[in-house]
Amino acid sequence: MKTATPLTIETRLYNGISIVPEPATLMFSGPMASVISRSTASQYPVTKLRVSPRIGTADRFVSLPDGIQLQCADGPLLDRLPQEGRTEGLVAWLEHRWWVALFSLMVTVMALLAGYFAGLPVAAEKISARIPIEYEKSLGEESLAWMDQRKLFMPSDLPSETQGLLEGSFRELHQGLSMDAHYRLEFRRAPAIGPNAFALPGGIIVITDEMILKTGSPGEALAVLAHEIGHVEQRHVMRHVLQNSVVATVAATLTGDASSLSLAVSGLPVLLAQAKYSREFEAEADEFAFALLRQNNISPGLFADLMERLSEGRGEKRQSWSFLSSHPVTASRVMRARQAARE
Amino acid sequence: MNDKNPTLVPADLRSSGSTTVNSNPASPPSQPGLTLQFTGSAGEYFRIWIVNLCLTLFTLGIFSAWAKVRKKRYFYSHTLLDGTPFQYLGQPIPILKGRLIAAMLFGVWYTATHYVTSLLPFVLIAAFILAPWVMVRAAAFNARYSAFRNMTFSFAGTYTSAAKVMYGWAILALVSLGMAFSWWQQRLKKYIVDQTSYGGVNGEFSATGGQFFKTYFIAGLLFAIAMIAAFMLLSIGTAAGGENSFMVAWVVGIYAIYIMAYAYIQARITNLVWNNTQLGPLRFKSSIGVRSLLRLYLTNALAILATAGLLIPWATMRTLKYRADHLSVIATEGLHEFRGSEDGSVRAVGAEVGDFFDFDMSI
């Protein structure tokens, strides 16, 4: 049989039995390939050969049908042989090019920014609106029971008349809202936590005795409750869970390689990214509260008064650290509330 | 062929430029080294990293299994022992299956620890039952899909033997209030090494629990001293009235102490494990220094933070090169003890990929 000069590749042959390699020459022309080493000379149909995927500039392996492997330097000749995996060849082609890498980098950065600032919050809002709040109920009960068990929450010392009065105005406040049927107000004493109020999953709102003692009027207590109602109406619990888990997952994917220091490297950026979402939820709940209060003829200024009183004891954190905080700076919340009171 | 020849490469291959077999000049001539090199480059790996990352993001994570194969392939292919690269043979679909299962398990775990705490006892029991299985699967997958010179590694551990090692010694560690932790660690490492084989030769692990204890004890001691010093500084600082900035400095300090302890344990335990591992005629010498490892970690972390992650591939390559540079392989006699077999050949692996229970649990 006459053919053109055969193409040859110098290789090292591993027969799978001995660990010692043998030098061998792979030649192919037309439909047949032959492998010639000092100890063997065999022929194979070219279609039965398989070349391992290209990766960087590393040597590649040609597998022969009888289990022998040939190691050889990467080169264009190998592209003429049947490949082991088709998709990997395409990916290898992409990986080989700097312009593809730079394009990927650009697209990745843009996608991450767009996803973080716009896509994720919007998607979380849309998705949470479709999940009935009933699903959160058991979660809320669990959290409340957990706080009670740990003695973080203790039974309230407030007289039942005070509780009854507040409950009445609370009911009036959330009447007609979309989550109306799901609200429940709980009073707890919480010496370990201090003056605070929480919107738990499923519409359970907890207000601490310490918070009520700080209020100068029932209106101020209602201002706080309006803020928590804002969290419930806008499904912040669900959105918080969705957004934070996506942020954590993406961060883990990005830094997965540097696993020895993965947490050390990604921990702080993830916290910052999540804190920004948290501040946005707070601001959103504030805005909701101001509108709700005005509808009920309560001045949003009361919210400002209470916030100021609460911050007196603490000494507000410096403005420069605000990006670390889960809540917006008090001064700006107060300012916004006073502005809303004038509107 | 000369059986006394301790290198793996016959004379006629040695002349070819790509394979150099130096006797390691540092070791005595009676124990010639096989060269171990890592030839990955940051630029090349950067492209692989970003292209695969981009594809992973735009397929909502599905491509991550393919990306893992590409990256592992890169690491293996650029690690050369005696001129021959290692081969990674894992396939994306089993890895994807493993990741889906892992994601599900993690979801259940996260829900139970964060939201539905009443489920926690059941989840803990399930985790307790599953842990040895996960360990065995991960080790088996890693071994079976790692090959060198057309022979795969293999792992012979079983669920019951793994459970015995994991829990027999874990219970002791609990009972002794952590004193036996070192012995537990030693048993786990020994289990993995002893059950791993290559070319019909089993690994042998000879480090003792006492050696592990020494490392952990010193690390614990240094950590405790550093923490006490940090707390004393904190009380002085608060007494002096320094506030936020002092707190931040303190947090950074604690962070630094943590990283130091981490580097110390990593360096010492890695050395201990390698230096007491033998694979037939092969012995290993790992010489990672605590200070140089710490320097590597810190410069990596700073570079990554300063470039918002762009230097992650560079850090990865540096770390792998550092590891290869600090590990030498010594052949005490000829290597003909390693013999391949039919079921250990690279070809046998591919045929099994369709197996439903074949998946990668090593994240």
**Every domain of chain A and the residues it spans:** 7-95, 131-342
Cβ contact B315–A258 (<8 Å): yes
pLDDT tens, position by position, A285-304: 999 999 999 998 888 988 88
Name chain A contacts of B40, Cβ cutoff 8 Å. Answer: 56
CB of B41 within 8 Å of a chain A CB? The answer is yes
d(CA B356, CA B353): 8
d(CA B149, CA B340): 9
Which residue in A30, A27, A29, A24 sits closest to A11, CA to CA? Answer: A24
* Both structure tokens of A150: 């740990």
Which residue in B27, B26, B18 sits closest to B85, CA to CA? Answer: B18
Per-residue pLDDT for B311 more than 70? yes
Which one of B15, B46, B54 makes the best mutation probe of the A interface by having the most chain A beta carbons within 10 Å? B54
Q: Chain B: residue nearest A142 by CA?
A: B116
Name chain B contacts of A97, Cβ cutoff 8 Å. Answer: 47
- C-beta separation of A19 from B335 below 8 A: yes
Q: Which is higher by pLDDT, A86 or A103?
A: A103
pLDDT band at A206 (very low <50, low <70, confident <90, very high): very high
- C-beta separation of A130 from A237 below 8 A: no
pLDDT band at B1 (very low <50, low <70, confident <90, very high): very low
Cβ contact A111–B58 (<8 Å): yes
pLDDT tens, position by position, B71-96: 999 999 999 999 899 999 888 888 88
Q: By mean pLDDT, which of B6-15, B182-191, B337-346 is the weakest? A: B6-15
**B199 phi-psi bin (left φ>0, alpha ψ -120 to 50, beta other):** left
Cβ contact B149–A19 (<8 Å): yes
Cβ contact B8–A21 (<8 Å): yes
Cβ-based neighbours of A181, under 8 Å, separated by 6 or more: none
Cβ contact A101–B345 (<8 Å): no
Cβ contact B52–A95 (<8 Å): yes
Residue A228 annotated to the active site: yes
- C-beta separation of A73 from B18 below 8 A: yes
What sign for the dihedral angle of Cα B72, B77, B80, B81? positive
CB of B106 within 8 Å of a chain A CB? The answer is no
DSSP letters along A222-233, please? HHHHHHHHHHHH
Cβ contact A104–B50 (<8 Å): yes
Cβ-based neighbours of B178, under 8 Å, separated by 6 or more: none
Name chain B contacts of A71, Cβ cutoff 8 Å. Answer: 84-85
Shortest Cα–Cα distance, A69 to chain B (Å): 6
Which residue in B142, B147, B45 sits closest to B87, CA to CA? Answer: B147
Which residue in B138, B128, B139 sits closest to B163, CA to CA? Answer: B128
d(CA A313, CA A311): 6
pLDDT tens, position by position, A147-186: 898 888 999 998 989 899 899 989 988 888 888 888 999 9
The beta-carbon neighbor of B118 closest among A55, A56, A142 is: A142
Which residue in A328, A322, A317, A314 sits closest to A214, CA to CA? Answer: A314
Residues in chain A: 343
Q: Supply angle C-alpha A185, A191, A192, rounded to 5.
A: 105
DSSP letters along A56-89, please? TT--EEEE-TTS-EEEE---GGGGGSPBS-HHHH
The beta-carbon neighbor of A255 closest among B39, B51, B312 is: B312
Per-residue pLDDT for B124 more than 90? no
Q: Which helix (H) or strand (E) holds B329?
A: strand B327-331
Q: At what angle do helices B290-306 and A262-295 cross, to 10 degrees?
A: 40
**A185 phi-psi bin (left φ>0, alpha ψ -120 to 50, beta other):** beta
Name chain A contacts of B50, Cβ cutoff 8 Å. Answer: 101, 104-105, 108
pLDDT of residue A258: 56
Name chain A contacts of B56, Cβ cutoff 8 Å. Answer: 253
Per-residue pLDDT for B260 more than 70? yes
pLDDT tens, position by position, B209-219: 899 999 999 88
Which one of B265, B347, B362, B363 makes the best mutation probe of the A interface by having the most chain A beta carbons within 10 Å? B347
Q: At what angle do helices B42-58 and B312-325 cross, to 10 degrees?
A: 130
- Full 3-state SS string of B199-234: CCEEEEECCCHHHHHHHHHHHHHHHHHHHHHHHHHH
Cβ contact A52–B87 (<8 Å): yes
Which one of A25, A44, A55, A70 makes the best mutation probe of the B interface by having the most chain B beta carbons within 10 Å? A55
Q: Where are the alpha helices (DSSP H) in A150-207?
A: 160-174
Q: Which is higher by pLDDT, A256 or A320?
A: A256
Fold of A7-95: PH-domain like (2.30.29)
Name chain A contacts of B315, Cβ cutoff 8 Å. Answer: 257-258
Mean pLDDT of B271-300: 92
Which one of A20, A90, A317, A324 makes the best mutation probe of the B interface by having the most chain B beta carbons within 10 Å? A20
Cβ contact B117–A142 (<8 Å): yes
Q: Across chain B, what does the average pLDDT equal?
A: 81
Cβ contact A264–B301 (<8 Å): yes
Cβ contact A63–B85 (<8 Å): no
pLDDT of residue B31: 54
pLDDT tens, position by position, A9-49: 999 999 888 888 999 999 988 888 999 998 888 999 999 99
Residue B44 backbone phi and psi in degrees, to 5: -65, -45
Most confident residue range from B34-38, B221-225, B251-255 = B34-38
pLDDT of residue B16: 40
pLDDT tens, position by position, B128-141: 888 888 888 888 88
d(CA A171, CA A192): 28
Cβ contact B115–A321 (<8 Å): no
Q: Are strands A204-208 and A184-189 parallel, antiparallel or unpaired?
A: parallel
Q: By mean pLDDT, which of A9-23, A81-95, B14-28, B79-93 is the weakest? A: B14-28
In the β-sheet with B196-198, what is the strand arrangement from edge to edge?
A: B33-34, B327-331, B282-286, B277-279, B201-205, B196-198, B151-155, B146-148, B87-88
d(CA B187, CA B181): 10
**Residue holding tokens 């990929």?**
B353
Residues in chain B: 363
What sign for the dihedral angle of Cα B41, B47, B49, B52? negative
- C-beta separation of A220 from A303 below 8 A: yes
Q: Is A23 helix (H, G, I), strand (E, B) or coil?
A: strand
Per-residue pLDDT for A319 more than 80? no
Shortest Cα–Cα distance, B252 to chain A (Å): 11
Cβ contact A18–B74 (<8 Å): no
Shortest Cα–Cα distance, A249 to chain B (Å): 10
Neighbours of A134 (CB within 10 A): 11
Per-residue pLDDT for B11 more than 90? no
pLDDT of residue B345: 56
Q: Which is higher by pLDDT, B219 or B28?
A: B219
pLDDT tens, position by position, B95-115: 888 888 888 888 888 777 776
The beta-carbon neighbor of A91 closest among B46, B51, B151 is: B51
Shortest Cα–Cα distance, A97 to chain B (Å): 7
CB of B323 within 8 Å of a chain A CB? The answer is no
Name chain A contacts of B9, Cβ cutoff 8 Å. Answer: 20-21
Name chain A contacts of B297, Cβ cutoff 8 Å. Answer: 260-261
CB of B312 within 8 Å of a chain A CB? The answer is yes
Q: Is B138 helix (H, G, I), strand (E, B) or coil?
A: helix
Name chain A contacts of B151, Cβ cutoff 8 Å. Answer: 16, 19
Q: Is B340 helix (H, G, I), strand (E, B) or coil?
A: coil
CB of B307 within 8 Å of a chain A CB? The answer is no
Q: Which of A186, A220, A228, A233 is catalytic?
A: A228
Cβ contact B9–A21 (<8 Å): yes
pLDDT of residue B258: 82
CB of B339 within 8 Å of a chain A CB? The answer is yes
Mean pLDDT of B40-45: 94
CB of B10 within 8 Å of a chain A CB? The answer is yes
Per-residue pLDDT for A259 more than 60? no
